[in-house]
Amino acid sequence: MNKILTSLLSLGVAASAALAANSAITAVKVANVEDTAAWSNAKFSDVTLYPQTAIEMNDKKANELTENAKAKKAQVAALYDGKNIALMVKWADGSKDLQSGYASTTYSDGFAVQFAATTAKPQPLPYIGMGSVGRPVVVHLQKANEKVYEPNGNKDVATQINRQQTGVFGQELAEYDAKVASLAVTDYERTFVGEGFRSLTEVKDGSVKSNSSMVYGANGWSGILIRPLKDDYVNLSGTVPVSIAVWDGSKMGRNGLKNLSSWIAVNLDGQKSNAGMVSDLTTDSKGDATKGKAALEANGCNGCHQMTAADPKSFMAPSLKNVGGYSTAAYLRESILKPSAVVVPGYNRNAHSNTPWYNLEKGKRISTMTDYSHLDKATVEDIVAYLKTLKAEVE
């Protein structure tokens, strides 16, 4: 795959920066998405990736590096053929960071593409990032890790000892080194399925036939993911909601320390698009944000939620300072009316035991947030409109 990308970069595919954020992406139909030349037909759109700030991780240095992080622009294009869909993500990154060497504090750049496992009920889509109970997602992750040796699962202990302890020299030692090197995973590509935070599970049985790769050049990365339109996990047609995340290794990015997009509509060109979903993901909320801010304060939302960077941090509820960037209006609406529909799992309950986000009732997570279903429809729309304004500026 690396070859394909390198030649693509040399083609100099121009990104279209003219389109507004969150516009729908058109997946161009081509004969074969694996054919490099096919990308010359691709239509790039701008997608804004916001820093994940719903919860703050416990890494002091990383938090200092990402304090008041800004949003990033990525250029995204899609292709599809009879079998596969392909996405290309290009984003600026001043340094090429690989998790490499015998070190404890290196982190790699990376990107991920997320698909909703079911779009039967598009409103609302699964929670961005990890999916939500009953609304699973498939996440394709590609990281720039140089070399990883998976823990021994095959009882091949003979290759786990250090070369000095092998008791062999010269040619035999060279052979041992070669054997060890051959066991390394040099392409850190993984697929996960998730139904909410902490449920993310790696697919290891080969049931997802995807291929992703990333190449660095000209102050940025270019990543490609190719996956089947249909497999055990997804069945993509018409309008495909996807979401993109990128990690910056120089900012100690990994896991939640990332920038991510909201759900983006990808229309498979020539197929009947899902007008409802497209409009949901591309049009602004109709409410009055100023009224919404007042309503939000009147209802005490900021008692638990951090709204802007100026507000004090809270362990009681997700910070909303970038919620407008990565959440859909439908999700925000649902969270106000039915707080337990998706409980952003946030911190381990043990980590902040006096401020539980949820309580377990019969094995189900019930949010500690009050149900605001008594609010009238217009007020809810106003609040949603205000929440949609809460996001970092683009760098």
Partner 1 sequence: MSKRQLAMVMDLNKCIGCQTCTVACKTQWTNRNGREYMYWNNVETYPGTGYPKNWMELGGGFDAAGDLQPGVIPNLEADYGVPWDYNYESLMTDSAEHSHFKPHVSPTWGPNWDEDQGAGAFPQDNYFFYLPRICNHCTNPGCLSACPRDAIFKREQDGVVLVDLDRCQGYRYCIAGCPYKKIYFNPKISKSEKCILCFPRIEQGLPPACAQQCVGRIRFVGFLDDEESQVYKLVHKYKVAIGLRPDYGTQPNVYYVPPTESPAKFDAEGKIIEGSTRLPIEELEKLFGPDVHAAIKTLKDEMKKRKETGVSELMDILIAYQHADMFRLDNNYYQEVAKEQKRTPLAPVDTRYLAGKFTKAGGHH
Residues of the shown chain interacting with partner 1 in the complex, contacts defined by CB under 8 A:
57-61, 63, 99, 101-106, 145, 148-152, 160-162, 164-165, 169, 173, 197-198, 200, 202, 254-256, 315, 347-348, 350-355
Q: Are strands 25-29 and 72-80 parallel, antiparallel or unpaired?
A: parallel
Q: Which is nearer to partner 1, 163 or 230 (CB)?
A: 163
Q: How far is the CB of 128 from partner 1 (least distance, A)?
A: 15
Provide Rg for the chain, Cα atoms. 22
CB of 99 to partner 1, least distance (A): 7
CB of 44 to partner 1, least distance (A): 31
Q: How far is the CB of 381 from partner 1 (least distance, A)?
A: 33
Beta-bridge partners for 51: 259
Looking at the Cβ atoms of 217 and 356, the one nearer to partner 1 is 356
Cα(87)–Cα(64) distance, integer angstroms: 32
Closer to partner 1 by CB, 190 or 321: give it.
190
CB of 148 to partner 1, least distance (A): 5
Question: Which residue lies nearer to partner 1 by CB, 10 or 171?
Answer: 171
Please say which residue, 254 or 293, places its beta carbon nearer to partner 1.
254
At residue 144, φ and ψ (nearest 5 deg) are -90, 25
Residue 116 β-bridge partners: 137
CB of residue 67 vs partner 1: minimum separation in angstroms?
A: 12
As beta bridge partners, residue 268 has 27
d(CA 292, CA 345): 26
Looking at the DSSP assignment, which residues form a beta bridge with residue 135? 132
Nearest alpha carbon to residue 383 among 344, 336, 346 = 336
**74 DSSP β-pair partners:** 47, 91
Between CA 97 and CA 252 the distance in angstroms is: 10
For 287, residues 6+ apart whose C-beta sits below 8 A from its C-beta are 378, 380, 381, 382, 383, 384, 385, 386
Nearer to partner 1, 59 or 269 (CB): 59
- In the bound state with partner 1, the residue whose beta carbon lies nearer, of 57 and 341, is 57
Measured on CA atoms in the order 94, 19, 76, 243, is the torsion positive or negative? Answer: positive
Please say whether the beta carbons of 211 and 187 come within 8 A: no
For partner 1, give the closer residue by CB, 17 or 351. Answer: 351
| Cα–Cα distance for residue pair 158/162, rounded to 1 Å | 10
In one-letter notation, the amino acid at residue 147 is: K
Token pair for 269:
């060109």
CB of 57 to partner 1, least distance (A): 6
State the Cα torsion 348-123-381-50 to the nearest 10°: 50
CB of 14 to partner 1, least distance (A): 36
Nearer residue to partner 1 within complex by CB, 79 or 139: 139
3-state secondary structure of 61: helix
* Closest CB 156 distance from partner 1, rounded Å: 11
Q: What backbone torsions phi and psi does residue 350 show, to the nearest 5 degrees?
A: -75, -25
Token couple for 199: 């449920």
The pair of structure tokens assigned to 390 is 């809460």
The number of residues making up the chain comes to 395
Tell the smallest beta-carbon distance from residue 150 to partner 1 (Å): 6
The smaller minimum CB distance to partner 1, of residues 136 and 346, is found at 346
d(CA 35, CA 32): 6
